[in-house]
Amino acid sequence: MKKSLRSLLAFLIAATVLCCIAMADTGPKPSASFTFTGMPDEDYYVTMLAEVDAYGPHRVHQPGSEIPGYVLEQGEQDPAYPAWQKFVDYKDPDGYYFLEDLFEQCHGDDEAGWRYFPPEQFKLLLYFPESDTFLCSTVTERYAFDSVYRLDLGGKSPAEVAALTLTDPNGDPLPTGTVTLDKADGTHQQIVGFFGRLGITLVIELALAWGWKYRKGSQLLFIGVANLVTQCLLNASPRKFGLVVGAEALSKVVDWTDRGTCILFGDGAAAAVVECREGWPSIGAVLGSRGDDILLRLPGLGRGAPNVLSMEGTQVFKFAVETVPACMDATLKKAGLTPADIDFFVFHQANARIIDLAVRKYRIPPEKYYKNIDRYGNTAAASVPLVLSELVEQGRVGPGSRLLLTAFGGGLTWGGAVLEMA
């Protein structure tokens, strides 16, 4: 009877979960919030202009394409449509873009905000239909995970504000209609957001840890401290820098009797600091996965099989020689570059022959690529940053060097990125 009840309960839980919509990016998002004071008693519209024409899921409206339903459900019959069209037609003197779904209506002293991929660097643009007036802020950066700003017109009409002459810190006049944003006291939002994110992530990760039998006090404490540190970094940082760490101890998971596999791999660890720099909103990254657990596999703990790495070497080699050039082509296309624009090619050190084939296809000269697999073996996630480290030590790359990185591995997965050395 008890067994039947447990089975029924498990079924109900599974049914509930499976009926839910799963989002790949479910979880807290950074936000930008704005408080408007001293505003006229009328409707107006607010948007954030971005320095790039696409940011996260948001992008510039393409002429001839449909009006996005999530912005204006009724199209041209929507009362907000004329204002939306005004934003589409707006030409920013600094070349900032209107992203079609970052769009909100306000009235009088009001608030607005965006909690799903607001631009890191932006201008706030306001449109007042009654006077057909635009007001645009100076370039502003998000300063925290939850950034809060205030705009006060001081009771002046939009036309009066637009007529004011402002200057930049150098004393040069700013374009007509420029306003400035002030940082508002966002302590409350940041505290609530911080503990909300911390609580949610702790519940999820502790539940997973408990299910995987990581139940020792030291293990649970580590998870708690790691989450606390992560949330502090998220809240305090504008997230322009990232620490990327790749570490592998493959000697613990290879079958030392499988001489066709174990001799290929090595242990290694490396780390790099990555910066999202102005002018490089996207580093031209490409990621892909085939979902194959036959050619390269690691069963994992508790699967009833030896927890050792195994692979079909010939088939993995065939996969790699097809995937690496395709990944390079896709990465270069996304970045809008050609092989001639690349100063150095950094390959995942899995197999010297795979690298040689890619080198021959692109006619890469010896001084523009590097191999260290003969010394370390395939260190998997540590492979690419180890190459980068040695190149820097040897002085072969430095500030301003443009690199094309490509890698592949278990999954089967692959990835490429164009980046510039700082």
Q: What pLDDT digit, counting tens, does each position of 172-200 carry?
A: 888 889 999 998 766 666 677 677 777 87
Amino acid at 107: H
As a whole number of angstroms, the distance between CA 103 and CA 6 comes to 49
353-to-88, 254, 358, 379 alpha-carbon distances in Å: 51, 22, 9, 16
Determine the pLDDT at residue 305.
Answer: 60
List, in sequence order, every residue forming a beta bridge with 247; answer none if it has no partner: 269
SS3 call for 392 = helix
Q: By C-alpha distance, which of 213, 210, 202 is closest to 301?
A: 213
Q: Which of 8-17, 42-51, 63-72, 73-82 has the lowest mean pLDDT?
A: 8-17
- Give the helix ranges, DSSP H, for 154-186: 158-163
Q: By C-alpha distance, which of 127, 86, 102 is closest to 49?
A: 102
pLDDT tens for each residue of 338-385: 999 999 999 999 999 999 999 999 999 999 999 999 999 999 999 999
Q: Which of 69-83, 248-262, 343-357 has the lowest mean pLDDT?
A: 69-83
As a whole number of angstroms, the distance between CA 331 and CA 415 comes to 9
Determine the pLDDT at residue 76.
Answer: 73
Q: What percent of the chain has pLDDT over 90?
A: 40
pLDDT tens for each residue of 10-51: 454 444 444 444 444 555 678 899 999 999 999 999 999 998
pLDDT tens for each residue of 273-282: 877 665 554 5
- Burial of residue 97, with CB atoms counted within 10 A of its CB: 0-12 exposed, 13-18 middle, 19 or more buried: buried
Average pLDDT of the residues in 389-399: 93
Average pLDDT of the residues in 52-77: 73
pLDDT tens for each residue of 279-309: 554 567 888 888 777 777 776 655 556 678 8
369-to-126, 272, 388, 403 alpha-carbon distances in Å: 50, 19, 11, 10
User: Given the DSSP bridges, would you call strands 310-311 and 296-297 parallel, antiparallel or unpaired?
Assistant: antiparallel
Q: Tell me if the pTM is above 0.75.
A: no
301-311 burial, b at 16+ Cβ within 10 Å, e below that, comes to eeeeeeebbbb
- DSSP letter for 168, please: -
* 160 has a pLDDT exceeding 90: yes
pLDDT tens for each residue of 240-251: 677 888 898 888
Query: Residue 127 has which token pair?
Result: 């449109």
As a whole number of angstroms, the distance between CA 69 and CA 71 comes to 5
Q: By C-alpha distance, which of 180, 162, 181, 177 is closest to 34?
A: 181
More confident residue, 388 or 167: 388
Cis before 412? omega within 30: yes
The residue with tokens 């990621």 is 287
Q: What is the set of domains in the chain, with CATH numbers?
A: 31-185 (no CATH), 186-239 (no CATH), 240-420 (3.40.47.10)
Do residues 55 and 99 lie in contact, with contact meaning Cβ atoms separated by under 8 Å?
yes
As a whole number of angstroms, the distance between CA 263 and CA 279 comes to 43
Residues ≥6 apart with Cβ < 8 Å to 142: 30, 32, 118, 119, 120, 121, 122, 238
As a whole number of angstroms, the distance between CA 383 and CA 114 comes to 39
As a whole number of angstroms, the distance between CA 259 and CA 249 comes to 18
Amino acid at 231: Q
157-185 burial, b at 16+ Cβ within 10 Å, e below that, comes to bbeebbeeeeeeeeeeebeebbbebeebe
Q: By C-alpha distance, which of 121, 109, 138 is closest to 44?
A: 109
pLDDT tens for each residue of 101-145: 788 999 999 999 888 778 888 999 999 999 999 999 999 988 877
The residue with tokens 């002459």 is 165
